[in-house]
């Protein structure tokens, strides 16, 4: 009597098992790399402890990963959230610094007057750019500026 391999008697079932093992293999590597990243992320561990955990996870990967998840897995999410929060705060600080470093209206007017005095722009262009700066739309300092003050809509009664 010959042995029957049920998983390979039906091609669809064989494909299912192959996909399942492939998925588990990929998930294993994702878990392994997340643990390695967590080992390096943890500031409370000394360098020797990090080296020990790293060697344990590389030499005996299944046992090392499972022991790490059991022993230190509770705080993995907290460390990841703390890092994400710190990155968001750094990004927000960068945006605030970048947005806050713009020039004020007085500085823009001084630059416009300097450009006019050098003869780069005409008096009419200076006047239009000055009105744009004062209205809060920015300076149109180019010589080919097509900004027209009269084109801004005005609210009746104001």
Domain map (residue ranges) of the chain: 6-73, 105-141
Q: Which residues in the chain belong to E strands, given as ranges? A: none
CB-count burial class (<10 Å; 0-12, 13-18, 19+) for 62: exposed
pLDDT computed for residue 15 by the predictor: 83
pLDDT computed for residue 17 by the predictor: 87
- The radius of gyration of the chain's CA atoms, rounded to the nearest angstrom, is 33
pTM, entire model = 0.50
Angular region, 140: left φ>0, alpha ψ -120 to 50, beta rest: beta
Q: How confident is the model at residue 12 (pLDDT cuts 50, 70, 90)?
A: confident
pLDDT digit string, tens, across residues 90-118: 998 888 887 765 667 788 888 889 989 98
pLDDT digit string, tens, across residues 49-74: 999 999 998 899 889 989 998 988 88
Average pLDDT across the chain, whole number = 80
């Amino acid at each position: 009597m010959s042995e029957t391999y049920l998983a390979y008697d039906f091609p669809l079932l064989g494909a299912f098992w192959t996909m399942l093992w492939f998925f588990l293999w990929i998930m294993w590597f994702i878990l392994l790399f997340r643990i390695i990243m967590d080992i390096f992320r943890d500031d409370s561990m000394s360098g020797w402890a990090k080296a020990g955990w790293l060697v344990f996870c590389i030499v005996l990967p299944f046992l090392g990963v499972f022991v790490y998840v059991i022993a230190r897995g509770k705080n993995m999410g907290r460390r990841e959230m703390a890092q994400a929060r710190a990155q968001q705060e750094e990004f927000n600080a960068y945006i605030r610094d970048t947005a806050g470093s713009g020039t004020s209206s007085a500085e823009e007017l001084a630059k416009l007057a300097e450009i006019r005095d050098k003869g780069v722009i005409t008096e009419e262009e200076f006047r239009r750019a000055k009105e744009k700066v004062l209205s809060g739309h920015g300076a149109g300092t180019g010589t080919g500026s097509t900004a027209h003050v009269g084109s801004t809509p005005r609210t009746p009664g104001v």
